[in-house]
Amino acid sequence: MLDGRHALVTGGGRGIGRATAARLKAAGAAVTVVGRNRASLADAVAKGHATAYRLADVTDPDALGEAVALSARTHGAIDILVANAGAGEAAPFLEADAAQFRRMFELNVLGVVHAARCVLGDMTQRGFGRIVAIASTAGLKGYRNVSAYCASKHAVVGLVRALALETVAAGVTVNAVCPGYVDTEMTVETIARIAQRTGRDRKDALGGLLRGNPLGRLVAPEEVAAAVLFLCSTEAAAITGTTIAVAGGEV
């Protein structure tokens, strides 16, 4: 399905990024995972979930550019970018200072911007490219106590919609996948913070997260990866500027 393609996945050492890298590699792509944690990235390669890894922080455009350039020289031009790196911070709005908003914007929005800038020129010249940003249902609706995170993910969705219009004539598609709460380390950390802040046990904290989800469970990382794989395929050439919610009917 993706034989001969080279995919680059940011934040590819764990969670959604790791599952996506594994799915793309299983479909025939050479996959480079990028991130800050050498151990998790190396483990992804050792276990066959990725072809190679590069260390880079997506908030550092120079370091990221160097990592992408080295990857392209080693495994060929980047055909697919999955801009997955991101994080969340929680606080009621009046406790969320400007610094929190800046951190969320730097990582969740400019991380996508920097990665896209690294690959888009070459994609448009070659007439093929797939860019998939991992956003969130927080980019489609609001949630209490995560205003900075919601604002950043709404910005990612807006970026995708605008960039898609600029690139569609060049054979490049740009889309977003918007998961709900996913069974990852990030969600485990979120549940722990909720439990600590509220005094509830972790089971009750998880129940609170799932209360608005008709599916009644966390989304599996592999379910998100399956949506990404489809958007990266040749069959998805007419799909651009859109969002796919993998959220069990929440939105």
> Cβ contacts of residue 190 below 8 Å, gap of 6+?
88, 90, 181, 209
Cα angle 192, 156, 147; round to 5: 45
pLDDT at 222: 98
pLDDT at 195: 67
Domain boundaries, the chain: 6-180+220-244, 183-218
Residue 181 CA neighbour count, 13 Å, CB half? 21
SS (H, E, C) the chain: CCCCCEEEEECCCCHHHHHHHHHHHHCCCEEEEEECCHHHHHHHHHCCCCCEEEECCCCCHHHHHHHHHHHHHHHCCCCEEEECCCCCCCECHHHCCHHHHHHHHHHHHHHHHHHHHHHHHHHHHHCCEEEEEECCHHHCCCCCCEHHHHHHHHHHHHHHHHHHHHHHHHCEEEEEEEECCECCHHHHHHHHHHHHHHCCCHHHHHHHHHCCCCCCCCECHHHHHHHHHHHHCHHHCCCCCCEEEECCCCC
Give the residue among 206, 215, 205, 200 at the shortest CA–CA distance from 250.
215
| Residue 248 φ/ψ region, left for φ over 0, alpha for ψ in the -120 to 50 degree band, beta for the rest | left
CA–CA separation, 209 and 121 (whole Å): 40
* Amino acid of residue 88: G
pLDDT at 203: 73
CB 206 within 8 A of CB 187: no
Per-residue pLDDT of the chain (251 residues; tens, 9 = 90+): 899 999 999 999 999 999 999 999 999 999 999 999 999 999 999 999 999 999 999 999 999 999 999 999 999 999 999 999 999 998 999 999 999 999 999 999 999 999 999 999 999 999 999 999 999 999 999 999 899 999 999 999 999 999 999 999 999 999 999 999 898 877 777 777 766 776 776 777 677 777 878 988 899 999 999 999 999 999 999 999 999 999 999 99
From 53, 143, 149, 181, active-site residue = 149
CB burial of 209-219 (b: ≥16 within 10 Å; e: otherwise) equals: bbebbeeeebb
CA–CA separation, 171 and 169 (whole Å): 6
Regarding the domain delimited by 6-180+220-244, which CATH topology (the fold level of the hierarchy) does it fall under? Rossmann fold (3.40.50)
CB 130 within 8 A of CB 81: yes
Indicate if 181 belongs to the active site.
no
CA–CA separation, 27 and 144 (whole Å): 38
CA 216 to chain centre: 23
